Each structure stands twice: as structure tokens, then as C-alpha cells.
């Protein structure tokens, strides 16, 4: 291995980029809160069904440009008129009910192992930042790349200023890496979806998580690793059952959201 210059040049830090839905958690993060949004008066049953149908067509019809545009339009129509503070309050109040039980244990262990090895963990999701940021805090992530919704006078307009999807995820990762000095060749990325191929290509170590047939085929073609996550586990139940090395309690600006730091595992991840 060529080590020339390593004594004079500081080693650049790396990062681990995780897709959220069906990679860290076992279902869609946005859909996980649908009942609470319905009960909180943000959703009507008609809009909920319409958005669910768009999501269904997206998943079964292939993630092409037409289906992506349809899903984005449904999302835009759905959120228009929502009060930001109301959304934040609902997410803060119900995050443990909806997210705790569906987090993959394997993902938690992998996140913790990367952090022990000095890597920042970044959650990258097409879901709205209003939903993703509290989940990322719950998981102890270091940063978030998520879709950004425009608001005026504290009310969502329905405009989406940044849609964190497909190639846009990879572009945002490169932008963040340039800003923070990440070495992308030494960084990692994880996703279940073929639409995140650009994201996995942006780093030196890409992994397909619970891939379907097309994603598995692409992983083999591009030399990505393949991982299987099977065990959703309740965060609070998990923490109660084993020693915790560090526990951090923080109050998020939007309400009482607990930030949990996970036990340090003895087995080191591969470098």
C-alpha cells in the first residue's frame, strides 16, 4: 500500500450515510405518523387515501420520473396549509409510539459502530425534514439531509424547495462532504432502494440493505455489499435490557424528544 505523504498530510475523516425508510426503520417514516396526523386534524381521510395510493403506485410501478412526480405532487397537495408548530408538536408527542418499535436492531448497531470509529452518521431521506430531524435526534445521528418544505407565516405553502430524492441525494452528500471535509472514498452509504444508486455511488463503500431483486442485481453489478436487517426492536425496551455506556437527555426545541446514546459494542466494525 502506498503510504507516501501520510506523515505530513492529516487523515481526512469519513462519514456514514443512511437512507431512513426500510433501511433504518421497517416502514415509511411519513406514513408512520399518518394516524396521528389524521387524529390531529392535519389529514382528511380522502387526502390520506390519495397519498397512500400515490405511494402504492410509486412502489409497485417503478420509481420512474412519472411516478416520482406523482408522489411529489401528492405530497405537496397534502401538506399545504399545515401549521409548522402543529406538525412539530404531533411528531414530538408521538415519535416514541411510531418509531421506537420499527427501528432495526442491526441498523442501530451499525450506526453505533461507525460512531465509535469516529465517523459522522448522516440520515438521508426524501421525507420532510420536519419528520426526519426528530427521528435523527432520537437515533443520535450527527446531521440530516431531507426534503425541505417552504413555509410562510408559520404555515406550509405546499412548495418543496428541495426534494431529497435520486440524484439530488448524491448531490447533497457531495455538497455536505465539501463543507465538512469528508473523504467520500473512505465513507459508507446504505439504502434499500434502487433510486439511491447515485447515493451509493457517491462513496467508496456502498451497501444495499434488504434489496429487492433489481437492487440486488445492481449491487452485484456495481460491487456493493448486501446486508439483511430482520429485527425491528423497541428502543426503550432494548436499552432497558442491557448496560448503557452513555445516556444523554436533551430537550428538543420542538418539545420533549429524548436523545438516546447507545451502548458501546465490543466488536469493532471493519475499517
Tally of CA atoms within 13 A in the half-sphere of 156 that contains its CB: 24
| Cβ atoms of residues 166 and 69 within 8 Å | no
Find the catalytic residue in 19, 100, 120, 192: 19
Q: Active site includes 142? A: no
Supply angle C-alpha 262, 253, 21, rounded to 5: 50
Find the catalytic residue in 2, 8, 21, 64: 21
Say how far apart CA 240 and CA 157 lie, in whole Å. 42
Quote the radius of gyration of the chain (alpha carbons, Å): 19
Q: Active site includes 239? A: no
Strand locations in 105-253 (E): 120-128, 143-152, 155-162, 188-191, 205-209, 225-227, 232-233
Give the torsion sign (CA, 231, 221, 56, 86). Answer: positive
Residue 36 has which C-alpha cell?
Answer: 396521528
Say how far apart CA 160 and CA 130 lie, in whole Å. 12
Say how far apart CA 33 and CA 207 lie, in whole Å. 28
HEC readout, 83-122: EHHHHHHHHHHHHHHHCHHHEEHHHHHHHHHHHHCCCEEE
Residues acting as catalytic residues: 19, 21
Amino acid at each position: 500500500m502506498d503510504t507516501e505523504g501520510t506523515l505530513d498530510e492529516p487523515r481526512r475523516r469519513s462519514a456514514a450515510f443512511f437512507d431512513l425508510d426500510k433501511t433504518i426503520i421497517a416502514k415509511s417514516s411519513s406514513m408512520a405518523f399518518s394516524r396521528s396526523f389524521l387524529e390531529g386534524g392535519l389529514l382528511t381521510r380522502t387526502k390520506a387515501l390519495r397519498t397512500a395510493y400515490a405511494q402504492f403506485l410509486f412502489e409497485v410501478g417503478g420509481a420512474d420520473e412519472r411516478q416520482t412526480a406523482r408522489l411529489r405532487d401528492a405530497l405537496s397537495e397534502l401538506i399545504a396549509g399545515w401549521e409548522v408548530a402543529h406538525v412539530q408538536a404531533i411528531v414530538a408527542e408521538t415519535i416514541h409510539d411510531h418509531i421506537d418499535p420499527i427501528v432495526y436492531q442491526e441498523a442501530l448497531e451499525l450506526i453505533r459502530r461507525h460512531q465509535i470509529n469516529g465517523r459522522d452518521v448522516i440520515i438521508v431521506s426524501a421525507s420532510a425534514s420536519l419528520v426526519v430531524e426528530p427521528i435523527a435526534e432520537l437515533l443520535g445521528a450527527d446531521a440530516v439531509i431531507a426534503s425541505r418544505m417552504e413555509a410562510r407565516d408559520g404555515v406550509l405553502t405546499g412548495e418543496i424547495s428541495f426534494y431529497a430524492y435520486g440524484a439530488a441525494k448524491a448531490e447533497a452528500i457531495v455538497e455536505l462532504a465539501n463543507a465538512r471535509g469528508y473523504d467520500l472514498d473512505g465513507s459508507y452509504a446504505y439504502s434499500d432502494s434502487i433510486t439511491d444508486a447515485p447515493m451509493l455511488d457517491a462513496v467508496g463503500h456502498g451497501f444495499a440493505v434488504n434489496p429487492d431483486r433489481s437492487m440486488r442485481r445492481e449491487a452485484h453489478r456495481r460491487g456493493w455489499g448486501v446486508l439483511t436487517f430482520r429485527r425491528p426492536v423497541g428502543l426503550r425496551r432494548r436499552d432497558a435490557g442491557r448496560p448503557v455506556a452513555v445516556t444523554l437527555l436533551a430537550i428538543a426545541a420542538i418539545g420533549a424528544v429524548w436523545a438516546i446514546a447507545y451502548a458501546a459494542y465490543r466488536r469493532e466494525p471493519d475499517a
